[in-house]
Structure 1
């Protein structure tokens, strides 16, 4: 056996050729390779003074990224949603071409130089999370958990078969964020998840936002929707929704700031033709596609940036910065620098859709980098023409990951959590970087190492701005190492109201008759402090104690009520806590007018069996626009074409048609009763040999379905969209054409359908 070998002695490369039995094997030592860095110019990007923007991965390494997470080694895992709007007609979205990639910086120069596929053949994947030592991810409507074995997928577990059922991709569940309370929360879905004792738990929570979710150090959640830049909850999740027959309106889903936006160039937006959408210079006035919010908790920006909220505005090619202000039980946000954005670009391909804190303290931007960011169900003819004229519809399958750092701050070294000891992980709970604290908390729970229990207990008595005590409490909770006495000590000794708030919630599981006297003493002591945060969370935590002793705890709840009689958030907290005790409270405690009204509403809802929708809703409902698109494609597009341009010898075009731009009642009549014979459209005669089929006898198609079809055509093909009601459609259903019941061109032109 003969083997020959030669080496190229180049400092950038170490290449070895082995010739064995006439076959050549090409071997590369990656350690010494100098990879070509992505080309990127900052000329089209304006970044706030003091900060730097760096491209660390581009389309040579990934395509159409929409979300990401870091593993325990600090590597990036990126979701590629390649199937989203592959063309202006949105045809082909169901193709399983989505992927999850692992991105690595092998030579540690800060730029990704290795990319490998972990999972492929996914349908519109939109979120992932490294949790419980594996990967939680979305594939089509399903939520999966997969074990990771040497960077390869192992055993798969179906967590939720209907996770993203219903709606289009812009309105289906995403986010998958582990919160400090050991629960995984979502955007656009009313359920949260947890793996406990080997079983996945799914339970209702409030529905939040549209795309992206984030949290502050305390554990409150923040989110947004297309037209609302930033929303948030004033309270911790699941604390004011205990009463199934009452829906809070003051404690959750609050708008925190205005929607003003300050782009540096005119951009193509969906409703740009409507008054007030653009200013006289063609600049966007308010957000129309806000998404991917992030509370910065990285610890590597100046102190004044801690817990600022950054928001993606992809339609205007920018990222906003808001300063959060916490005042007792309320939160507000405001533009950081007047009329100036944190990042603004004139590159119309810059499409930031998600933001993340990194293990090094930097902020990471997921830039989908594409032309079309509006789903077909919603895209207007105006935007379609704008994108086509700029050839933005040809910008496909690109994508970038950008990194934001501060020039005066050194980034943190990234520890390898897979090799960290329990003691090292406990130390990380006090780190200024929230990502490190969060991951240390979860890895400590996975280790199940009780040798650090005393160190964790000691941390629960500490108070700092990084919520170290709260992290320690939930590590102990995950290790099943909590007790009533331990939590009682935390409540009595802590000087931090936020820590007390969490401890009170954790004490609920220990509510027993034997602890009633101690809880009464604790409650009395807490009320004497007259602290709004403590009083609010005491109110919401008394629910299980009320079931043990109404005589003791109803008067305590009444004391809180009277103290905050004009505060709606407190009144809602009390209604939540009084689940099942509303009538008793009404009779015995003489509630204020506000609380009396809310309690009466809850009682009436209970009698009518009308629960808060989150307790009855299992899947996302298909919105009318998406339903209209689906019906159009299944019924109309076969002849008129998915693009509405018509098909030769089958049907005339819809775009530019007087029947689309004219009377809506006439259009409804056409859909219901069909059309027979030659017909002129836009001055051209179409001599068709077939009849347009009527839907009037199709029992599967409702009047609302007809409305949805028409509204879709108005959005997609009309010069100026018009509305129609179900009542209008009913009238046209009853107005049958004379003769054989099918409309002719003569009838369409001569009849006044709007009479």
Structure 2
């Protein structure tokens, strides 16, 4: 009996022995730019359908897995708790993950995560949760936002969760940002950005994209242009940075609208992006010259990753594709689905490969792609998932440093690292540890203008520690580069008080003499805040900026954004100074004033649904299905969808509106005098089994009430008859076809 017990104990010990067997996966089907190498860091069975990752202080990879997404062509089962968040470990220290440790399981479609504040922030729709971590186990779970990702299509729910240089967490597909201060979570409105994935550069500008626009971004730091809640910026944020949307696939990949004219070329190759996502500003410090702060973009529909070269001039961003005729990384493996990218603590770039045959959600899956996917058996590519690493072949091998073992002084030194991931994490660790004895060391970094990056990180570390003061910021702004001084001006707004006004005025006058556009943009954004305390002192500076930048609409937006509290007397003052009433500046002020009179704020500040229809089912459905593209206020979102306000399809032609909602609409479109090109396509809901005839009738009733002067409705029976009224192609309607129907009605 004793021998049996010992034998059983031996078996238990053997079964617990670490196993470092790692699967070998061929990458022969992948073509990567010369000078780089590609390797598999983690793969199935360690993970399945990864969609997002983050690294912890030890360099381990935390992954959000979404195996419930498109398990079949009908998309059934996505409501089941099959998702998880897993810790991937490299126990034998060979650079390849060999163990998976469950952290959270039984989750429904987890879509984003971020290791912040010593814990984990993660999304399980509709909630945003934060848990503390003890010995790799979750504890003390806190509900940060119960309305983070309301029920709706998972392709159009908030995601990203990225900590920026300014100590705020930003998201894609969301108009809110988050921060925890002294244990209390804060939520603030911000510009709504992108669709899937978000990234930032060294300065702190944000970049994002949507399916049909591979790279968008802001020219200015977050929230500088949205502080006046009645002004909607059109020039400084949500800008298309690369006009060229061409893609260069290696093979005839399966895409959702391949039947459309112009989507595929004569060789059946996709011409333009249709599923762009997961952008990344590379900040690792190891790639060759010319690669620093390039923006890489996932193009999963053609199994590729694109490279864009960025340049910065006069405070603005410009970008262009690195090459014509090829991509940075491309494959003929239709399972390769890059959906997110990340800078790593080792300076390399990491690719989240969902590795799934079908990534188009069933609600938008066209019969065309459904048929092709079945023929190619793409729906059978399941239960896979990979993390890939891209390295500079000529760079020295680097090892990940365990930041959790470093002293605070070591972390201060890392604020000047060439690796942006290291700088970001060192900043957050210093704030989290709250060792105020380090304040003198941080101030020394601020005074050293030879390393602007460490200056910026030191500034926001002090801001996070509540250890900044006006005198320190004054000196930084006066003696630093334009980028560092811009951050200093932003942070000085925390010290707007009577005793600082004369010093600020002298500083602003001195900055104007530097004649640097990149700095004047931020001066323009802040001077109105100071003018609230003394209009006579600061209005002349605004006048000088307007005359200096008569054609710069971003500067105009910056001025109006900061001047909400003084906008009426400012308008009077500018009139007295001879500012032309027909100038761009005067026009912007007039539009802002009209919005204020009509109590029509920027939709990011709306706390209720438009008008009185907020309690109807149609309003709820509109928010879930349509608002992510057209905005809750119906004003549209730049680069994504046209406005509903003022559209004749909303105000006049209900049957045509019903056809659009059922079968979709493709460009070119003429809406309110503006032409939207062929890249703008709205998919129909006819194949969405969760949307009934009554649902569509309810939405029509809502949008005609909310966005036109003619509240009307269609019966569910009318919607049912429209289901069989097809376009010539059998797919989306064109504007010409809808007009023919209108003419026939008359």
TM-score by length of 2: 0.83
Q: CA deviation at 1:42?
A: 2.3
Residue aligning to 1:137: 122
Cα distance change on mapping 1:20 and 1:575 into 2, 3 Å: same
* SS of residue paired to 2:250: coil
Question: Max radius of gyration: which structure?
Answer: 1
Is the aligned partner of 1:463 residue 2:429?
Answer: no
Q: Is the 8 A contact 1:293 1:354 kept in 2?
A: yes
Q: CA deviation at 1:511?
A: 0.6
Q: Is the 8 A contact 1:625 1:708 kept in 2?
A: no
Cα distance change on mapping 1:471 and 1:695 into 2, 3 Å: closer
> Which among 514, 518, 526 is matched to residue 511 of structure 2?
526
Residue aligning to 1:677: none
Residue aligning to 1:614: 604
Q: CA deviation at 1:83?
A: 1.2
Q: CA deviation at 1:22?
A: 6.0
1:713-747 per-residue CA deviation (whole Å, 9 max, x = no partner) reads 6899997125599xx9xx99xxxxxxxxxxxxxxx
> Which among 92, 99, 116 is matched to residue 84 of structure 2?
99
Question: Aligned partners of 1:286 and 1:700: how far apart in 2?
Answer: 32
Q: How many aligned residue pairs are there?
A: 657
Question: Aligned partners of 1:151 and 1:502: how far apart in 2?
Answer: 36
1:305-384 mapped onto 2 (5 Å cutoff)? 305-384=291-370
Is the aligned partner of 1:428 residue 2:438?
Answer: no
How large is the RMSD of aligned CA atoms in angstroms? 3.1
Question: Aligned partners of 1:287 and 1:403: how far apart in 2?
Answer: 24
> Which among 65, 75, 88 is matched to residue 73 of structure 2?
88
Question: Aligned partners of 2:366 and 2:69: how far apart in 1?
Answer: 17
Q: Is the 8 A contact 1:70 1:77 kept in 2?
A: yes
TM-score by length of 1: 0.82
Q: Is the 8 A contact 2:196 2:210 kept in 1?
A: yes
Question: Aligned partners of 1:372 and 1:119: how far apart in 2?
Answer: 25
1:338-393 per-residue CA deviation (whole Å, 9 max, x = no partner) reads 22110010001100000000000110000000111101111100000010000001
1:687-708 per-residue CA deviation (whole Å, 9 max, x = no partner) reads xxxxxx9969998995479599
Residue aligning to 1:44: 29
> Which among 574, 581, 584 is matched to residue 594 of structure 1?
584
> Which among 133, 139, 154 is matched to residue 169 of structure 1?
154
Question: Aligned partners of 2:719 and 2:401: how far apart in 1?
Answer: 55
Q: Is the 8 A contact 1:711 1:722 kept in 2?
A: no
Residue aligning to 1:236: 221
Q: Is the 8 A contact 1:174 1:188 kept in 2?
A: yes
Is the aligned partner of 1:721 residue 2:711?
Answer: no
* SS of residue paired to 1:589: helix
1:129-278 mapped onto 2 (5 Å cutoff)? 129-257=114-242, 258-278=244-264
Is the aligned partner of 1:546 residue 2:531?
Answer: yes
Q: CA deviation at 1:711?
A: 12
Residue aligning to 1:400: 386
Q: CA deviation at 1:503?
A: 0.6
> Which among 479, 501, 514 is matched to residue 516 of structure 1?
501
* SS of residue paired to 2:514: coil
Q: Is the 8 A contact 2:316 2:518 kept in 1?
A: no
Question: Aligned partners of 2:27 and 2:417: how far apart in 1?
Answer: 32
Q: Is the 8 A contact 1:191 1:205 kept in 2?
A: yes
Q: CA deviation at 1:82?
A: 1.2
1:635-656 per-residue CA deviation (whole Å, 9 max, x = no partner) reads xxxxxxxxxxxxxxxxxxxxxx
* SS of residue paired to 1:73: coil
Question: Aligned partners of 2:489 and 2:699: how far apart in 1?
Answer: 53
Q: Is the 8 A contact 2:315 2:519 kept in 1?
A: no
Question: Aligned partners of 2:721 and 2:309: how far apart in 1?
Answer: 39
Cα distance change on mapping 1:140 and 1:367 into 2, 3 Å: same
Q: Is the 8 A contact 1:432 1:466 kept in 2?
A: no
1:549-580 per-residue CA deviation (whole Å, 9 max, x = no partner) reads 00010111111111000111111111112213
Q: Is the 8 A contact 2:446 2:458 kept in 1?
A: yes
1:54-85 per-residue CA deviation (whole Å, 9 max, x = no partner) reads 01111110001000000111100000011111
1:665-744 mapped onto 2 (5 Å cutoff)? 702=701, 703=713, 720-723=730-733
Cα distance change on mapping 1:157 and 1:215 into 2, 3 Å: same
Cα distance change on mapping 1:603 and 1:707 into 2, 3 Å: farther
Is the aligned partner of 1:78 residue 2:88?
Answer: no
Question: Aligned partners of 1:535 and 1:577: how far apart in 2?
Answer: 13
- Runs of 5+ unmatched residues, structure 1: 5-18, 629-663, 672-692, 733-752
* SS of residue paired to 2:51: strand
Question: Aligned partners of 1:361 and 1:697: how far apart in 2?
Answer: 50
Question: Aligned partners of 2:695 and 2:231: how far apart in 1?
Answer: 41
Cα distance change on mapping 1:374 and 1:135 into 2, 3 Å: same
Question: Aligned partners of 1:473 and 1:705: how far apart in 2?
Answer: 60
Residue aligning to 1:604: 594
1:144-180 per-residue CA deviation (whole Å, 9 max, x = no partner) reads 0001110111110000001001431000000000000
Q: CA deviation at 1:21?
A: 8.3
Question: Aligned partners of 1:597 and 1:404: how far apart in 2?
Answer: 49
Moved more, 335-344 or 94-103: 335-344
Q: Is the 8 A contact 1:98 1:124 kept in 2?
A: yes
Residue aligning to 2:689: none
Q: Is the 8 A contact 1:38 1:55 kept in 2?
A: no
Q: Is the 8 A contact 1:70 1:76 kept in 2?
A: yes
Q: CA deviation at 1:582?
A: 2.0
